Amino acid sequence: MSATHIPRRIGRYDILDRIGYGGMGMVFRGHDPHIGRAVAIKLLRISDEDLHDRFLREAQSAGSLKHPNIVTIYDFGEHDGAPYIVMEYVEGTTLAEHIKQNIPLGIGRKLELLAELAAGLEYAHNKGVVHRDVKPANVMVDRDGILRILDFGIARVSHSGLPQTGMIMGTPHYMSQE
């Protein structure tokens, strides 16, 4: 699927528009006609078995998490042989956009956001899920001002059984040195 092609439907979901494009895939704003709610749909755009497994792992790891600071996963499926994840559609701004637009935040607000990020990550860690790609583009502040953690695409699940040694995963600029 090309970067410019927007499907009309993915699974049972109506596609409204494309809202993002990244290394693993595209993200669309969609509508679930059965429930009548807005959804975000992440569609893998690269045909690779390892990426397919990682994508499935994202659906399983993030899908098991229920926390106010973590985006909720609703569904997983395949569209024209490409896997997709259906998740809660969150209206808001990523921290990357805040930084790019130079939106000022007071020290108190910054501390609130850090506390919310820490709470979400602690919850995930306690469930055996390590995000491994926390960066401004994967953290959103929704319209109610609540921080939401996105994109568990390279998360490590402590009980996944998948190989973990010798692999460097994440965005290098945001990775810890060790």
Helices marked H in the chain: 49-63, 95-100, 107-126
Q: Check pLDDT > 70 for residue 15.
A: yes
Query: Which residue type does 10 have?
Result: I
Q: Which residues contact 6 (CB under 8 A, 6 or more apart)?
A: 15, 17, 18, 28
Q: Which of 14, 53, 75, 133 is catalytic?
A: 133
pLDDT tens per residue across span 16-54:
999 988 767 899 999 999 999 999 999 987 777 777 777
Q: Does some domain include residue 83?
A: yes
Q: Check pLDDT > 70 for residue 166.
A: no
Give me the phi and psi of 120, to 5 degrees please. -65, -45
Query: Which phi-psi region, left, alpha or beta, contains residue 49 (left: φ > 0; alpha: ψ -120 to 50)?
Result: alpha
Q: Quick check: 50 and 56 in contact, CB under 8 A?
A: no
Question: If you ran DSSP here, which 8-state letter would residue 70 be given?
Answer: B
Q: Does some domain include residue 4?
A: no
pLDDT value for 49? 79
Domain that holds residue 141: 9-174
Catalytic-residue membership of 133? yes
Cα–Cα distance measured from residue 45 to residue 16, given in angstroms and rounded to the nearest whole number: 18
User: Which CATH number belongs to the domain containing residue 25 in this structure?
Assistant: 1.10.510.10
Instruction: Using a pLDDT cut of 70, give the percent of the chain over it.
Output: 81
Q: Does some domain include residue 1?
A: no
Question: What's the chain's Rg over C-alpha atoms?
Answer: 16
Q: Does some domain include residue 3?
A: no
Average pLDDT over residues 146-174: 60
Q: Does some domain include residue 2?
A: no
Q: Quick check: 119 and 112 in contact, CB under 8 A?
A: no
Q: How many domains are contained in the chain?
A: 1
Q: Quick check: 133 and 171 in contact, CB under 8 A?
A: yes
Q: Does some domain include residue 99?
A: yes
Q: Does some domain include residue 148?
A: yes
